[in-house]
Amino acid sequence: MFQKFTETARRVVFFARYEASQFGCDHIDTEHLLLGTLREDRALWFRLLKAPEKLQSIRQQVEKQFPLREKVSTSVDLPLSMQCKRVLEHAAEEAERLKDDHIAPEHLLLGLLLEPMCAASKVMAENGITVSQLEQAMVPQSPAAAPGVPGVNPPSGDFHDLTAAARNGTLNPLIGREPELERAIRILSRRERNNPVLIGEPGVGKNALVEGLAQRIADGNVPAILAERPIVTIDAGSLLMSSGGRLLGIPDHPTAILYVQGLFDLAGKVAAWNVLEAIRVLEPRLANGMQCIATGTPFGLRITVERAESLARCFEVVPVLPPDEEEAIRIVVGVKERYEKFHGVVVSNEAIETAVSASRWFLRHRHLPDRAIDLIDDAGARVRLRCEMGPPETADIRKRLRMIVREMETAIASHRFEKARYYSDEERKERQNLQSLLEKPGRQSESNVVHPEDVVEAVAERARVPVSAVKSLLRLKDAEPVDLVAKELAARFPVGGREWAEALAAYLAGCSVEEAESLAQSIRTAKSRLGSQ
């Protein structure tokens, strides 16, 4: 039965048998097969779930379905249930349909989904796992789908239907930007020059604006001329992979609006013949009625007008300026829920205000709101790691857990099931010890909140300056003195010194004359010591 199984798939079945014995079952059922894939192919599950913490949640969902029973000896031969046998038959059929020579864990999961009445299939459905999602996860492992192979279309990851994503609720909400959004809608509703290009510096929210338009279309809150029209996004670099004037991977949808990210930056980044190639691909489609939304920077717009004037004439510019700090705070507040859910933390409003204010000083090469959102993401990751790692004594327990799991897997692979059972009991004990440490009273309630101090630490690490320097900048109410001192320092120091010039400027702008003289004396002393060495 298992001749066509890969070694990994065979280990899945061995683990399923082990799981069944631990639950005290007299046969191997679909739930045990599901747990077997969890143990053996965690990389596949990471690709499916995009969230490692969900793996334990799935195990807990399965465990709830089994009453407490006495464990069965691992030396007892356990048969497959009828449902489990059908799942293996489905897996073999799927492998044959996909023209794969062997049955892998992915095919076993497909088989579980194709047996909709089984408990494992219901657990997978509750966690949002579908057949199409599984097949997409299998694409990178299929040599036939590799990009660059003649006569084979690249995987569907080259493009993305934003309108479908909006209907599924996976896009970030658009906060503000109503004038720019209305301007883009008016341009798309015109008879001529009906292709908007969003021009703004990196990080100001051009992509968020297009996602907001996709959400409006999905909600039906647009004029009839734009209703039911999908927005299909593609990176500008994909235009250079086109063949025969056809955009690879983009379906020929008669009403689709093509969104080309970075189109107006292409001319300033690559050779001129590549720009001409992109024009050759796009212009006939634009002339035949296809509508396009593009993005670019002010510099990219100037270069495109110089090198590809005919392409630039097809578009109408929509300026996208950086928001002020007050509007940036509203934007970050609007999207913080996504970051809270991802990191499992709570972001305080004070932390958001600190991120917006601190990014003004230390991330000046980037723009709001992107730079503030980036700091919140960084601070959220810090707090999440702090929560997950727990007290220092948990490190030894985690190390023992990894060793026990490795030994248990080795024992199962070599059919030493009594030894595997011993390691399973040890694993449960260590996990209980870890859980009790992580659930100490009063620890978790405060540790999962992102405070301003967490943002300050993230800023200080990025800027490579002391935390006190960041705090001194945030205390300043008037920025003009700091700007003046920073410009003077930047003019006197080489480019490498500008990374810390603003922190030094903040200190000089806020300190007394005596403190500034003391600093100057310390620098002169250090310089004289270096000269004497």
Residues 6 or more apart whose CB falls under 8 angstroms from that of 21 comprise 71, 72, 73, 74, 76, 78, 417, 421
Q: Is residue 414 in some structural domain?
A: yes
On the question of pLDDT at 248 being above 60, the answer is no
pLDDT on residue 68: 63
Euclidean distance between CA atoms 317 and 526, whole angstroms:
54
Per residue in 175-229, pLDDT (tens digit) is 888 899 999 999 999 888 889 999 998 888 898 899 999 998 888 888 888 887 8
Question: Which residues fall within 8 angstroms of residue 300, CB to CB, at 6 or more apart?
Answer: 199, 262, 264, 265, 266, 267, 268
Domain harbouring 249, CATH code: 3.40.50.300
Domain span at residue 205 reads: 156-319
151 within some domain? no
Q: Are residues 248 and 288 in the same domain?
A: yes
275 is a domain residue = yes
Out of 90-104, 140-154, 347-361, 425-439, which region has the weakest mean confidence (pLDDT)? 140-154
Same domain for 247 and 106: no
Phi-psi region of 100 (alpha: psi -120 to 50; beta: other; left: phi over 0): beta
On whether residue 107 sits in a domain, the answer given is: yes
Domain-embedded: residue 277:
yes
Cβ 295 vs Cβ 201: under 8 Å: no
Segment among 114-118, 206-210, 242-246, 431-435 with least mean pLDDT = 242-246
Clarify whether residues 304 and 160 are in a common domain: yes
Among residues 319, 351, 381, the one where a domain terminates is: 319
Statement to judge: residues 116 and 86 lie in one domain:
yes
Give percent of the chain with pLDDT exceeding 90.
Answer: 6
- pLDDT in the model for residue 140: 42
CATH code, 137: 1.10.1780.10
Q: What is the structure's pLDDT at 273? A: 44
Higher pLDDT, 79 or 254: 79
- Write out the two tokens for 229: 């029209």
**Does residue 102 register a pLDDT over 80?**
yes
Which conformational region is residue 79 in: left (phi greater than 0), alpha (psi within -120 to 50 degrees), or beta? beta
The burial class, CB within 10 Å (0-12 / 13-18 / 19+), for 486 is buried
Which of the listed residues 142, 172, 202 is the one where a domain comes to its end?
142
Cα gap 253→230, rounded to integer Å: 9
* Alpha-carbon distances of 296 from 232, 269, 400, rounded to whole Å: 17, 12, 52
pLDDT at 213: 92
| Element spanning 384, H or E | helix 370-389
Residues 291 and 267 in one domain: yes
The tally of domains found in the chain comes to 4
Which of 61-65, 276-280, 350-354, 355-359 has the lowest average pLDDT? 276-280
